Chains A and B, each alone.
Chain A
Amino acid sequence: MVAGKQDALLAQMRKGTLQYCVLALLADEERYGFDLVRSLAETDGMVTSEGTIYPLLSRLRRDGLVETTWRESTSGPPRRYYKLTTAGRSALEAFKGEWGRFRDAVDHFVERNAG
């Protein structure tokens, strides 16, 4: 029962932080969906269903945190490239600060207990 709750909590945390991981991946360069998914999937445990990235990207676009442009591809049909907006960049910066504090605070207690 406790394990189930823990799984649910981790799933929620993953889901809540995923959008900032996406924003961070877009911080330096434009990327298209498949490329983004591939990068996220390289890090184990971040994305369980790759398909869920696309509703997230759609939402970010509608919230004005990313914008998109279609570009021709050499290997097939045009791709939709995602790019951070100014609002997206400041959302990412704000999260980075909060996340750092949160992570340090949790570490402070959890690590002390473990050690």
Chain B
Amino acid sequence: MSTTPDKLVERYLKHLEVELDDLPRDRRSEIVDEIAGHIAEARGVLEHESEADVRNILEGLGDPPDIAEDARDRFDVQPALPVAPYKRGSMEIAALVLLLVGGLIVPIFGWMIGVILLWLSNAWNVRDKVIGTIFVPGGLGLPLIGFVLFATGSGGGICISDLNNPSRAACTGEGTSTGDVITVVALIALLIAPLVTTAYLAYRLRHQPAAATA
């Protein structure tokens, strides 16, 4: 027996569940379960099931968006709020830009404004906002300052990263070669982290428009 009919049914039910998102959870699962049962019954009646049979069953049920529209109507549920509030707007773009390079434009404050915008936005959930805030404070500002300090040979920048390996590197002006390597690796990590975070937040912005109400 081919697996394609199963896949069709699975895809249909998933689509339906997504479309019914506006309904209270218990109603949504009741409807999806009942329709899954309907499909199973209809398939059980067939003697030799073909893909066309399954497609006919699904077509008879109707398109998930149509069923969902009907269901919202039956339960007096307003269609999704997300349309307006979750529109990706200039605030989200500004938040991402400032989180990344705000600290370079106006040290500390530029980044902080990015954080404020991040938390004001409804486009991300709390977890995303926390990630955006801790990885990494200052955005690209911190590692770049670190690089400058490192290049000019000042010990301050090196000490930050050496704190993790106090046994291996001392905060001396000369700096051992091991210490230098660790510092450079740490700085590169600090440089990459905000880029990854920003890419992640941008991804969430595009792919989870209705993710959050928090």
Contact = CB atoms under 8 A, between A and B. Distances in A.
Q: Do chains A and B interact in one complex?
A: yes
B37 A33 contact: yes
21 contacts: A33-B37, A33-B38, A34-B38, A34-B41, A48-B62, A49-B67, A50-B60, A50-B61, A51-B16, A51-B38, A51-B61, A52-B66, A52-B71, A54-B31, A54-B38, A54-B67, A55-B27, A55-B31, A55-B71, A58-B30, A77-B37
Most buried by A among B34, B73, B75: B34
Given A58-B30, A76-B44, 6 more contacts: A49-B60, A50-B38, A50-B62, A51-B66, A77-B40, A79-B41
A113 interface: no
A55 B74 contact: yes
Interface in A27-65: 32-34, 37, 41, 48-52, 54-59, 62
A89 interface: no
Contacts of B30: 54, 58
Max chain B Cβ within 10 angstroms of own Cβ: one of A33, A54, A57, A62: A54
B21 to A, nearest CB: 14
Contacts of A80: 34, 37
A75 interface: yes
Interface of B: 16, 27, 30-31, 34-35, 37-38, 40-42, 44, 60-64, 66-67, 70-71, 73-75
Main SS class of interface, A: helix
Contact of A49 (B40, B44, B63): B63
Which residue, of A48, A52, A77, has the highest number of chain B Cβ atoms within 10 A?
A52
B119 to A, nearest CB: 38
Contacts of B37: 33-34, 77, 79-80
Contact of B66 (A49, A62, A77): A49
Contacts of B42: 34
Nearest to B34: A54
Nearest to A36: B38
